[in-house]
Structure 1
Amino acid sequence: MRTETPQQRIIRLQNAANAIVMHASSDSFKNLIDNNENLFRGFRLVYSTNNIEAGFSHSSLKSIEDDCPTLKKFFYGTGLLFYSEKHYEDTKRKGRIRIPIDYSLSLDSNAAERFRIWESGGSLDKEESRFEGLVRFIMEGKEQGFNFDYSFFIIENLLDSLKPENLRPFNTISALKRFDHLEYEGESFDIRNPKFTENKEVAGQRAVEALRAFQSSTETQRFLDRRMGLYLIFLKAVLLREQKEMGLYKQLEALIEYSLDTLGAFAKTEIYFSWKLLKYGKTFRFFDPISQLGKKSLHKIKGMSWDLFAVRYQETLASMSDIGDFYVPFFASFDNRFVELAQACPIRAILIDDLDKRVMTIHLDEYEYMVDLNRSISTELNHRLQDPEEKIKRMSRKPTVKELEKKANELELALTKYY
């Protein structure tokens, strides 16, 4: 039986997130929990740090990346600490305990493509050694093993898979399905001569079934809508960046207003990514591809929006994980853009409310972001944000797919003026 209303619980969740934001990264995890036990009660927390505390169950991100350099971590630190009410009580009673962890490995498009080339007998050239390391890591696992997940690749390539002339997504998914049935013996395994217990036809049938399931899923459409929302906010930020007469706070205010008008909500995390572009775009390599606008910029912005959405997608998986008590995501990639993304947008913690299915991602520089947001919100805009009638009106009407596409076309047309 619930002891608090949903409204009280979401306020407590926000207060718990604020406690993390205000907690110095150099201070101990134990102090964070002990000083805020009432706030964290009933929630789960994955906390990234460079200072692992022996008294807590923890995981070394650095050792996993050292074992398989193709893996890219999402969290900023070298290790993770974990909290849940039950585990914390067990830790205090028994000392250090072992917590089941779901290590999940997702693929970006370039890694998935290499599975297709390899399965069809093609050459991996200079990437063969790194690819073999990835295959061996997947098959042999780490600690309690990795959950191999390519749903993000399917969602990212879903619209392309609907084009009859484009067989690449289907062939890639078919190769990944067949990889599920790889014959693997560590010492005798030959990366140049893989053997599978499933033939191409059966793997192809399973690939068709997977694509149809994703294409007909309302959940998939929600993911695509969320990614489109992120793309709109990011593209709008790129355009605002070109308005040199506007300062950072005016740009942020315009972004918030655009988010309210277009998405019907204050898209705080999406605006965070744009804040990093507007304030520190010249500092981080992740934003280099759009440092100057040209004919290829639109394609690059779309690709970057998918990279940014990968972070949002992992939030959802974190709340759905049923393999372990905690979910730790990694991406397999043969370039460094996820490393560059982690440097630009460092993730400090994921706070999870299983009861109400809410997940909050907290970045290392969240406090600085919140200060800039507060400075950018005018009295008029604050009234819009706080007005209960307008809140209800916004929540009652979410934009349709066609409306989002129309907004995207408008921004894309505006982008052409800059090259």
Structure 2
Amino acid sequence: MESRQQRLGRLQIAMNEIVLHDPERSFSELIDNKRALFKGFKIIYSTNNLDGNFAKSSLKSIEEECPVLKKYFYGSGLLFFSDELYDNTRKLGEIEIPIDYSLSLDSNAAERFRVWEDGKSLDKSVGYFDKLVRFIKEGEGNGFNFDYSFFLIENFFDSMKENNHRPFNTIRALKRFDHLDYDKDKFDINNPLFTEDRVSAGHRTIETLHAFHSSPEIQKFQERRMLLYIVLLKTIILRQNKSTTLADKMSELILFCLNDLGKFAKTELYFGWKLLKYGNKLRFFDPVGQIGKKTLHKVKGMSWDIFALRYQETLASKGDTGEFFIPFFASFDNRFVELAQACPIRAVLLDEQGENVITIQLDELEFQTELNTSMTPEVQQILSDTELKLKRMQTNLSYETLQLKAKSLENELEAYC
């Protein structure tokens, strides 16, 4: 019987195998040679090479049909692995795969629904918005699942303010959209008809907001976003020291995560590394290229953009056993596109039994190599201990504690202004 520690160790080895597998080589070569290693896990694997019999889905065709949609993965398509899929593919050849698509909205996309439902002009974005509405209702045959949880998470505190009606009005518009009288041949984007009135939609909105405000899960999302914000702040502060090497800065960032946050925050460290090494070359990081009075505001916005990626990771792990959940993001600006180009995602490795999910970037090997070089032998020993790893996974600082740490770093950063 495999212990939890052994399973976690095997998951880590499985991740390393994906990282070391050349993206130009076939997915079959990765799986066939190490079938026992991947037993009990699920993989969503992004690639530009869709050859072979593995269950597949095209991302390129979806983006072409609706340009407002931004894919989570880097490649033109996806391949999938689970024990059941693998066995059935061996027996039957190509098979149908149970895929569920989900569409999340950032604030600028969500608020266009409010403007539209209120009968106001969408100006130049009306054509793209029309495609978005049609895709939600018709996309991939049966329409897309429509998820506005991210908007609620991003506007969690604003929606509690008595005089701020924008989040309420936006959710009410989205609730009414659930009851859009839609016929693809007769639908006119400039004259929408809803089968639910505002009063009824408003009651449902109040219930939704109450559920979100009292949800422990939503509080956890706020903590995860704050953790990301803190690591970004620390990274920007370290970046100001021009006399230390990248390895020195990464070493300090790792120790900060372990000692101050109680975690080896791998995903957050990845974004920190990306900013430290490539910040001057990638447009996404331009807002923090120079420190000024608006830097903190820009870092907060950037942390929400990156958290949108992290939230997609959560959605990708939501499929029921044997099923796969494919997230998309709707946005009318280029920040998410720039982020996806800066930090391309290659695969998601899922262990549903162990309740673990690992995101693997396209440049993961480069990141892991430089991460390892920046670690002292003592830190490497701490990180290789699976018992300590399980303990770190269960360590969670409260939102209030994270706020205090963020405030301290904000004061430190403001000293550079």
Q: TM-score, normalised by structure 2?
A: 0.96
Q: Out of 323, 333, 338, which is 1:335 matched to?
A: 333
For residues 68 and 282 of structure 1, what CA distance do their matches in structure 2 show? 31
Alignment partners' CA distance in 2, 1:23 and 1:322: 27
How far is the alpha carbon of 1:244 from its aligned partner? 0.9
Q: Is residue 175 from structure 1 mapped to residue 154 from structure 2 by the alignment? A: no
1:368 corresponds to which residue? Answer: 366
Which amino acid letter does the alignment assign opposite residue 137 of structure 1? F
Aligned identity (percent) is 59
In structure 2, how many angstroms separate the alpha carbons of the residues matched to 1:154 and 1:381? 38
- Secondary structure of residue in 1 paired with 2:37: helix
Provide the C-alpha distance between the structure 2 equivalents of 1:313 and 1:120, rounded to a whole number of angstroms. Answer: 29
Match of 2:356 among 355, 358, 361: 358
**Compared with structure 1, are the counterparts of its residues 312 and 377 closer, same or farther at alpha carbon in structure 2 (3 Å cutoff)?**
same
Pick from 239, 259, 275 the counterpart of residue 257 of structure 2. 259
Separation in structure 1 between the aligned mates of residue 278 and residue 397 of structure 2, nearest angstrom: 31
For the residue of structure 2 that corresponds to 1:196, the secondary structure is: coil
**For the Cα contact (< 8 Å) 2:264–2:392, is it kept in 1?**
no
Read off the aligned partner of 2:159 and give its amino acid letter: S
Matched with 2:345 is: 347
Distance across 1 between alignment mates of 2:12 and 2:124:
48
Deviations 1:8-52 (A, max 9, x none): 111111111111000001101110110110111111111000111
Change (3 A) 1:390 1:187: closer
Deviation at 1:257, TM superposition (A): 1.1
Q: How does 1:93-108 map to 2 (within 5 A)?
A: 93-108=91-106
Residues 341 and 218 of structure 1, relative CA distance in 2, 3 Å threshold: same
Amino acid in structure 1 at the alignment position of 2:361: H
**Residue 38 of structure 1: SS of its match in structure 2?**
coil
Structure 1 range deviating more: 350-359 or 64-73: 350-359
Please give the alpha-carbon distance, in whole angstroms, between the structure 2 residues aligned to 1:37 and 1:383: 29
Equivalent residue runs for 1:240-251 within 5 Å: 240-251=238-249
Distance across 2 between alignment mates of 1:321 and 1:47: 15
Q: Which string of whole-angstrom CA distances, capped at 9 and with x for unpartnered residues, describes residues 338-384 of structure 1?
A: 11111111100001111122111001111111111111112343455
Residue in 2 that maps onto 1:407: 405
Query: What amino acid is the match of 1:244?
Result: K
- Preserved contact between residue 349 and residue 358 of structure 2 (Cα < 8 Å): yes
CA contact (8 A) 1:102 1:327 kept: yes
Residue equivalent to 2:396: 398
More divergent stretch after superposition (375-384 vs 101-110): 375-384
Deviation digits for residues 80-116 of structure 1, max 9, x if unmatched?
A: 0111111111111111000011111000110001001
> Contact 1:102–1:324 at 8 Å: present in 2 too?
no
Q: CA deviation at 1:388?
A: 8.6
Distance in 2 of aligned mates of 1:161 and 1:321: 29
Q: What is the CA distance between 1:164 and its match in structure 2? A: 1.0
In the TM superposition, residue 396 of structure 1 has moved relative to its aligned partner by 6.9
- Which of the numbers 159, 174, 180 marks the counterpart of 1:161? 159
- What do the CA deviations read for 1:307-339 (whole angstroms, capped 9, x no partner)? 111222222222223498111111000011111
Moved more, 196-205 or 139-148: 139-148
Between the aligned partners of 1:222 and 1:343, the Cα distance in structure 2 is 27
Greater mean alpha carbon deviation, residues 62-71 or residues 286-295: 286-295
Match of 1:75 in 2: 73
Matches within 5 A, 1:3-402: 3-322=1-320, 325-382=323-380, 385=383, 398-402=396-400
- 8 Å CA contact 1:109–1:153 kept in 2: the answer is yes
Q: Say whether the 8 Å CA contact 1:46–1:81 is kept in structure 2.
A: yes
CA deviations over 1:211-265 (Å, ceiling 9, x no partner): 1111101111111111111110011101111111121111111111111122211
In the alignment, the residues of structure 1 paired with residue 198 and residue 299 of structure 2 have an alpha-carbon distance, to the nearest angstrom, of 35
CA 136–282 in structure 1, closer or farther in 2 if over 3 Å, else same: same
User: Which deviates more from structure 2 when the two are superposed, residues 284-293 or residues 269-278?
Assistant: 284-293
TM-score by length of 1: 0.96
* Letter aligned with residue 34 of structure 1: D
Mean Cα deviation higher: 309-318 or 330-339: 309-318
Of stretches 389-398 and 378-387 in structure 1, the one that deviates more from structure 2 is 389-398
Over 3 Å counting, the alpha-carbon distance change for 1:114 and 1:52 in structure 2 is same
Deviates more, 1:380-389 or 1:174-183: 380-389
Alpha-carbon RMSD across the aligned residues, in angstroms, is 1.8
Unmatched runs of 5 consecutive residues or more in structure 2: none
Q: Secondary structure at the match of 2:281?
A: coil
Q: Can you list the C-alpha shifts for 1:265-323, whole angstroms capped at 9, x where unaligned?
A: 11011100110000011121111111112222111111111111122222222222349
1:43 counterpart letter in structure 2? F
CA-CA distance at 1:402 after TM superposition: 1.8
Mean CA deviation greater in 386-395 or 22-31: 386-395
Map Cα deviations across residues 177-218 of structure 1 (whole Å, 9 max, x no partner): 110000001111111111101111111111111111111011
* TM-superposition CA deviations, 1:388-415 (whole Å, max 9, x none): 9977886675322221111111111112
Q: How far apart in 1 are the matches of 2:237 and 2:285? A: 14
Query: Could you tell me how far apart the structure 2 residues matched to 1:269 and 1:148 are?
Result: 26
> Is this contact kept in 2: 1:101–1:144, CA < 8 A?
no
Q: Contact between 1:115 and 1:176, CA under 8 Å: does it hold in 2? A: yes
CA distance in 2, matches of 1:387, 1:323: 29
Which portions of structure 1, spanning 4 or more consecutive aligned residues, are displaced by more than 3 angstroms? 379-398
Other structure's SS at 2:270 match:
helix
- CA separation of 1:106 and 1:389: change in aligned 2, threshold 3 A: closer
1: CA distance between counterparts of 2:95 and 2:143? 18
